[in-house]
Each structure stands twice: as structure tokens, then as C-alpha cells.
Amino acid sequence: MPLTRRALISRAGLACVGAATGCAVAGRPRADAPEIVVDRPDDLVDSPWSIRLRGFAPTSRVEVTATLAGWGPTAWRSWAVFETDAAGEAALATTPSLAGSYRGVSAMGLLWSMERQAEATSAPPIPITGAFPLTLTAGARDGSRAEITLERRLAAPGVTRRDVHEPQAVGVLFMPASPGPHPAVIVLSGSGGGVFPAPAALLASRGYAALALGYFRMPGLPQGLVNIPLEYFESAIGWLRETVQPRDDFVGVLGWSRGGELALLLGASIPDVSAVVAWAASGVLFGPVGPSEPGDGGPRAAWTHRGRSLPHLGQNNRTMDWSVVDQRRTPIVERPAYLTMLRDRDAVERASIPVERTKGPIMLISGLADDQWPSFDLAQIAYRRLQGYRHPYPFAHLSYEGAGHLIGVPYTATTPTSYVHPVNGLAYSLGGDPAKTAAANADSWPKVLAFLGDARRARRVSRGAPAAPGRLRA
């Protein structure tokens, strides 16, 4: 097998690797040298790449393999077969994959279609700083071959992280490399607890002071999503404002699943929340998950306010029927049970989040093939309420056919369609077709960034004197 070497085409800013005989002096490859050309060989994971093959035989089939290291305890891999044109080239943005991990045209198909190469016996956290090496190898039947190693990042160079263990807040704070002040965001995880640092690191790379905030299943916090006081989040927002002095006093809240439900609740409850983004979220409150704290013998709920448990959809629900869920099936599909709960209109009304009280814009994102719960229907409850109350700030609901529960960061693997819940150890289906979930990710993430930018600009225009520290509404 011929050796390979890397050459940089400095004038075009492209990286190429071809056969050892294929790269000439001054970084200019010979016309007949097989190579893989990528526009930005080192970039954030949410950035798309332009990937091209060139220098291969005309109208020949080339197999490309992608291998990603460092993203968890095992490697990830994908492959695809492309046919070159009359010039011996193929652009992945326009050339269909004829076989492999995905089929059809997808510029970043080699990334979202990756599969884990071995079952992980443990799940250490993915390192947030540093680069994840991605190797692309292209080979044709005539023996021509090219290879390149690229780098993907969750945090841009210069982004800093700080573990936070304060009485007011527990989590991880990411700060941009640029001088402040910066707008701030809080990122909330779902029913698995802990923190969700990856999107926080990406948002810090885009200029936000981003706090991945924990609220249970972390040292110093409750071990279950049970009776979590909203006053904790008020204190966390106050700590963040005091610590980073956010530009224009902007503090957005972003959450996924139960964290999305929480993001909507915080927007409705805390005037200091400037904008809300909620993925796979619910416009009604749901019940507790996991154990109560020792000595807590009171009524169980997910959230409390001023010592009072907030009503949830399962309470006194007259239509709830868990027998519709086949517990023998693995992974479990819980969506049907949630649909039975929504038939009790009185329970829905009692548990609905008063999202119309939010002092800022709201974006909802859902997949229509979500198996975890009917996130489209649940988000529509919030959307219809915003319509009915004529919410004075912008609001939108982005919904995607065929997408599952885990819509989020684009160009990451969407092949995992189930997971083992860290609280109860059961396997649940996330639903969705990997290609359609990947398309939802690629479409929605830039819209989220644009939404936050618009919300910041609108606040800058309308903001008068700095707001006083906020208080929860009764």
C-alpha cells in the first residue's frame, strides 16, 4: 500500500492528501493525483464541510470510509460509495451515495450516518475541549487511494470552561475566547439529570457565556427529578448575571425534553429570562422521575414553587392508561401512554404552563416520529396558548416529519435511536429515521442561532434601564 502525505494548498485554503507520488512541490498536487479536498479541515462540529474527491479515474466507483475517534469510549465509522464524473471528481454535496451507511445525496452523510463500532461498557463523558480526529479514506478498484485526517471540535480555541459548585448554581460555565461582555444562556438537560455541556460549549464558541446547569443527579443536588424548587433556578440566573455581567442583560434558557419543559416553565415564572428555546418539550408539566430525597415525605411532583407542588398531567388523570405500552418490547415506546393522558382536557388545563407570561420570544422544536413522548402534540399546547393570548413577542414551532426525540446539534451521529435511561436502567426508543433526524438537525440549529441573535438585537433596541434582580411570579 503506497504511503501518503499531506499538502496544504495555501492559496485556496484547502487540505488534500493523496498518494505519495501525487503531491508535487509547493503544495500543488499533480493533476492525476487522487485526493480528498475539504474546505475547512479543522472546524466546529456544527459546521458543514464541502468534501470533494478528485484525481480518480473517470466514471469509476470510489469507496470512502470515515472513522471518528475520541467521541466516547469506542470509535465511530461510516462508509459510502460514489461514482466520479467524466473528470474523475465527485462532490459529496451533489453526488449520491450508491451504497453504504446512507444512500442518496447528503453533503454530511458520512458524519450523521456513523455507527458506534462496539457496545460501550461504560459511558465516560465526551471531552469538550480539544479536537476529535476524523479520518477519511478513499479507494478505487484500480488501487488508487487518498486519505486525510480532519479535526472536529465542540469548543473553539480559546473557549474556557469552569466547574461551578456554588450554593446558587451547580454546573459548568463556558466562556468565549473574545473579550466580553457576552450575552448569556443557560442549557438544561432532560430526565437523565446531570449537565449537557456539548451545546453549551458550541454556544460559547458562538459568543455566548453558556452555563450548563445541573438540577439533579449531581453532587450537592437531589438525586431524583422530584420536588425541584424553582427558586434554585432564580438563584442560578442571579449568580450568572452577577458573574458574567451579560451584555444587554440578556439571559436565554435552552432545554431538551424535560429540560425543554423546564425552560418553558422558567420563562413563564422568572422575568429575567430573555428568550426560550425548547427541543422535544412539553407545554404541560409532567410528574417526578426517580427517588425522593431522604426525609421528603411530602407530595411528589417534579417542580415546586414557594413550597407548593406544581400540578402535573398525571395527577387525577381520568384517561391515563399505561397498559397501552408493551413493557415486553425492547426498547420501550412510551408515546401511546402520553397520548392517553392528553385526552383528559381538565388535566391538561390544570398542568398547562402559562407560557404567555414569558417576557421574550419562544422557539419550539419537535419531531413527528418521537417515540419517547408525542413532542409535537405537547409543544403545540404551548404554541396554541401563545396564539390564544396573542403573545407580544415572536414565537415559532419548528416540526419535522420523520425526526425523533433527539433533535439538536447537526452533523453528529443520528443512528442511535434508543438509549438506556440512567435513572431506572430501562431501554427506551427515541424514534425517528436517522436521515430525517439529521435533516432536522441541519435545518433547525442555524435557525436557533438566528433566533437568539434576533432576540438579542430586539432586547438591545427595546431595553431601557438595567433590570432589577428578578423575582418569581406568584
Q: Which amino acid is at 447?
A: K
394 within 8 A of 462, measured Cβ to Cβ: no
User: Is 473 a member of any domain?
Assistant: no
User: Is 467 a member of any domain?
Assistant: no
388 within 8 A of 394, measured Cβ to Cβ: no
76 and 39 fall within a common domain? yes
pLDDT at 474: 38
The CATH number of whichever domain residue 218 belongs to comes to 3.40.50.1820
Q: Domain boundary at 107, 124, 153, which?
A: 153
343 within 8 A of 319, measured Cβ to Cβ: yes
Tell me the C-alpha distance between 311 and 9, whole Å.
62
User: Is 229 a member of any domain?
Assistant: yes
The CATH number of whichever domain residue 17 belongs to comes to 2.60.40.2240
Closest C-alpha to 95, from 86, 391, 288, 445:
86
For residue 370, name the pLDDT band (cuts at 50, 70, 90). very high
Q: Domain boundary at 138, 153, 168, which?
A: 153
270 and 198 fall within a common domain? yes
Host domain of residue 148: 4-153
Give the DSSP letter string of 404-443. Answer: -S---STTS-----EEE-TTT--EEE-BS-HHHHHHHHHH
228 pLDDT higher than 50: yes
Q: How many domains does the chain have?
A: 2
Instruction: For residue 309, list its beta bridge partners.
Output: 304
Segment 138-155, tens digit of pLDDT = 999 999 999 999 999 999
Closest C-alpha to 363, from 433, 442, 425, 452:
452
Burial class (CB in 10 A: 0-12, 13-18, 19+), 266: buried
Segment 51-75, tens digit of pLDDT = 999 999 999 999 999 999 988 888 9
15 and 117 fall within a common domain? yes
353 and 313 fall within a common domain? yes
Segment 194-224, tens digit of pLDDT = 999 999 999 999 999 999 999 999 999 999 9
66 and 204 fall within a common domain? no
Segment 270-283, tens digit of pLDDT = 999 999 999 999 99
User: Is 196 a member of any domain?
Assistant: yes
Written in H, E and C, the secondary structure of 183-224 is CEEEEECCCCCCCCHHHHHHHHHCCCEEEEEECCCCCCCCCC
User: Is 383 a member of any domain?
Assistant: yes
Q: Domain boundary at 111, 134, 153, which?
A: 153
For residue 326, name the pLDDT band (cuts at 50, 70, 90). very high
275-279 and 362-367: which strand pairing? parallel
98 and 171 fall within a common domain? no
Burial class (CB in 10 A: 0-12, 13-18, 19+), 198: buried
366 and 226 fall within a common domain? yes
Count of C-beta atoms within a 10 Å radius of residue 208:
27
29 pLDDT higher than 70: no
**In sequence order, what are the residues at sequence separation of 6 or more whose Cβ sits closer than 8 angstroms to the Cβ of residue 120?**
72, 73, 74
User: Is 471 a member of any domain?
Assistant: no
> 449520491: which residue's cell?
96
Tell me the C-alpha distance between 277 and 185, whole Å.
10
**Mean pLDDT across 230-251:** 97
116 pLDDT higher than 70: yes
**In sequence order, what are the residues at sequence separation of 6 or more whose Cβ sits closer than 8 angstroms to the Cβ of residue 115?**
76, 77, 78, 101, 413, 415
20 and 132 fall within a common domain? yes
362-367 and 395-400: which strand pairing? parallel
Tell me the C-alpha distance between 254 and 187, whole Å.
5
23 and 100 fall within a common domain? yes
Instruction: For residue 5, list its beta bridge partners.
Output: 18
124 and 203 fall within a common domain? no
191 and 94 fall within a common domain? no
Question: Looking at 67-76, 104-113, 395-404, which range is the least confident one?
Answer: 67-76
133 and 188 fall within a common domain? no
23 pLDDT higher than 70: no
**In sequence order, what are the residues at sequence separation of 6 or more whose Cβ sits closer than 8 angstroms to the Cβ of residue 143?**
none
